[in-house]
Amino acid sequence: MMLSAEYRATAESLRKEIEYHNRRYYTLDDPEITDAAYDQLLRELQALEAQYPELLTTDSPTQRVGAEPLDAFSEVVHPVPMLSLDNAFDQQEFADFDRRVRERLELTDEVHYIAEPKLDGLAISLLYEDGLLVRGATRGDGKVGEDVTQNIRTIPTIPLHLTGSGYPKRLEVRGEIFMPKAGFNRLNERARQQGEKGFANPRNAAAGSLRQLNPKIAAARPLAIYCYGFGLVEGGQLGKSHYESMQLLAQWGLRISPELKQLSGISACHDYYQQLAKRRDGLDYDIDGVVYKVDDLQQQQHLGFVSRAPRWAIAWKFPAQEETTRIVGIDFQVGRTGALTPVARLEPVQVAGVMVSNATLHNMDEIQRKDIRFDDTVIVRRAGDVIPEVVRSVLSKRPADAKKISMPALCPECQSEVIRLEGEAVARCSGGLFCPAQRKEAIKHFASRKAMDIEGLGNKLVDQLVDKSLIHTPADLFNLSLDQFAGLERMAEKSAQNLLDALEKSRLTTLPRFLFSLGIREVGEATARSLALHFGSIEAIREADQERLQTVSDVGPIVAEHIIAFFRQPHNLEVVKALQNAGVHWPAIEQAAADQLPLTDKSFVLTGTLSRPRSVIKEQLQSLGAKVAGSVSKKTDYLVAGADAGSKLAKAEKLGVEVLDEEKLERLLATL
């Protein structure tokens, strides 16, 4: 008996300690211990209850993992009906509500309200007896709901036993079960990885989770609650105002909205609405409006109810973020990097206060996952400044002959081949040097310092040249005259002459720089240099097949496919030829010497303050066959460290990478 009493006291102590930390973590967002320390406490209690089952209580924190599956939910008659709220959809309708309240209360002063976000979740009733959670029920039709107690027990933000003292003997708390956006995204991502269908939105996910007959499934879902009110109160009392009562609920361990505010008068209510509307998209949960309640409980009682709603509360709704419309066509827009994005053309519909006639479909994977088809009736969503998107199709309204959507074989802008490599979600136009949609980015990259290094040809000048149709490809740059440059905004004759001189200077380049300037996908500086040294000429690279390309150390199957796709497009070949005809040339590379360079297959990293510019040292090392990387790894052969070297030096020393100062680097190079 003494041993049993000792274990009983230990179990009770562990339960209290765990519930205390639950409250710190879930309700106050202020944990005191680490997750590992919390897990250790929970394991101790689980082990104790497993050894002595008589110690197990219904309010034990270990019971949040879920009980055995139910055959069906039983019905619950709400002792106090869970009524709906009337809605206001604009400022005038809310002003009319305020006027009615003041008239019924015969007030000349402003009404004191409380306000909080209207969560887009599932209303729930929690019944506590002597502080112990004995029942959880859905709203149902307001009079009769479903008993979901076993699922409710799995939600960590719902206390199984109230904390503190002074709570009524029987207390029914009302709240909203919801799924935070972050948890919803994780849940859907996990479903996608397992090849399962995800939920359409967080509200559906929350409702579906709470109505699982198997509580273990509900326990695995990231559900949360904010309490907003109360129903039955017996054997005790709450505060004199709604706000005061909500603060008592918080003291007893129940989670209330951090956005709950006391307001005086209609002007303050309007300001709250506007401020929350601006912050709406930044919240980690979905809301669809603001709920306002008369704060004084005696005034609430005086105002009373109509058949389905209290006269003392109203929900001022935000403009709908989702609406239903029909797809009337599909366009494929080409982005500045060549990515093709499918866009649905819609029958115009008002969404979140804006007329929407186009919505993104993201990519072909998303189209297939959502099974979107031509002529579908769809749900369109627009949240804040986010581009409208098609959320899902309404299958019940799908025409029998609705056709599937497919990616075009040719770019709609330039008719170059559209490439989508295995494992990539995005399809891209392969006509990078010619495609109008990619024109500005292609020319800016071509002129950049690490490519053709055309000094003075900045982004704004490129924009002007393209917008005025003076250039269409990089080759056109070399055909421009002094007058054409001088006629641009903020370009005097001297600046124009300097730019012409820079273009003339850039005609003599190197094969690695020229390759990099072409903007071939995945071909960066190092890969361009490796290709140039290995093949020796642009013609050899153009004619190489995938097998030969992959003999280059930096080139794998994906990079090889990008190179082949680029040189397969007649438009790209025409621009390369035009550049050569314009006088762009480079010194010949002796291919036989390429594999004999002294630092071939050696990897360097530069860090710290060096006496020479890093770009100069980098180019010197690369000319000797070395690779120059940006971070230290096990594959790094040398770290060149200048003054004030930091984390890269520490990592190199930890990995055993040889560290060189500039003097040692010079000695190494002198021996080659």
Per-domain residue ranges of the chain:
2-65, 87-317, 322-397, 436-591, 598-670
pLDDT tens for 240-250 read 999 999 999 99
Half-sphere exposure of 164 (CA within 13 A, CB side): 12
pLDDT score of 419: 92
pLDDT level of residue 210 (50, 70, 90 thresholds): confident
CATH architecture assignment, domain 322-397: Beta Barrel (2.40)
Among the listed residues 118, 370, 444, 627, the single catalytic one is 118
Q: Specify whether domain 436-591 bears CATH 1.10.150.20.
A: yes
Our measurement of the distance from residue 396's CA atom to the centroid of its chain's CA atoms, rounded to an integer in Å, reads: 30
Q: For the sheet with 170-178, list strands across it.
A: 132-138, 122-129, 170-178, 224-234
Whether residue 118 lies in the annotated active site: yes
- Record the tokens describing residue 660, joined without a space: 């060189």
Place of tokens 């494992």: 423
At the fourth CATH level, the homologous superfamily of domain 598-670 is BRCT domain (3.40.50.10190)
pLDDT level of residue 387 (50, 70, 90 thresholds): confident
Lowest model confidence (mean pLDDT) among 86-90, 596-600, 628-632: 596-600
pLDDT surpasses 60 at 591: no
Residue type, 467: D
pLDDT score of 2: 45
Q: How far apart are CA 593 and CA 444, in angstroms?
A: 33
- Record the tokens describing residue 614, joined without a space: 């890093």
pLDDT level of residue 42 (50, 70, 90 thresholds): confident
pLDDT tens for 431-466 read 989 999 999 999 999 999 989 999 999 999 999 999
DSSP 8-state class, residue 147: B
pLDDT score of 653: 92
Higher pLDDT, 425 or 330: 330
Which residues, 6+ apart, have CB-to-CB distance to 551 below 8 Å?
534
How would you class 215 by CB atoms within 10 Å of its CB: exposed for 0-12, middle for 13-18, buried for 19 or more? buried
pLDDT level of residue 369 (50, 70, 90 thresholds): confident
Q: Say which CATH topology domain 2-65 has.
A: Helix Hairpins (1.10.287)
pLDDT surpasses 80 at 367: yes
Highest mean pLDDT among 45-59, 69-83, 143-157: 143-157
Report the CATH number of the 87-317 domain: 3.30.470.30
Terminus-to-terminus CA distance in the chain, angstroms?
85
Q: How far apart are CA 421 and CA 402, in angstroms?
A: 28
Using N-to-C axis directions, what is the helix angle for 202-210 and 181-193, rounded to 10°? 80
pLDDT score of 586: 95
Q: What are the CA-CA distances from residue 166 to residues 51, 65, 248, 392 (Å)?
A: 35, 29, 9, 49
pLDDT score of 534: 87
Decide whether 436-591 matches 598-670 in CATH topology. no
Average pLDDT, the chain: 88
Nearest in space to 419 (alpha carbons), one of 563, 576, 572, 517? 563
Question: How many residues make up the chain in this entry?
Answer: 672
pLDDT score of 300: 95
pLDDT tens for 20-31 read 887 776 556 566
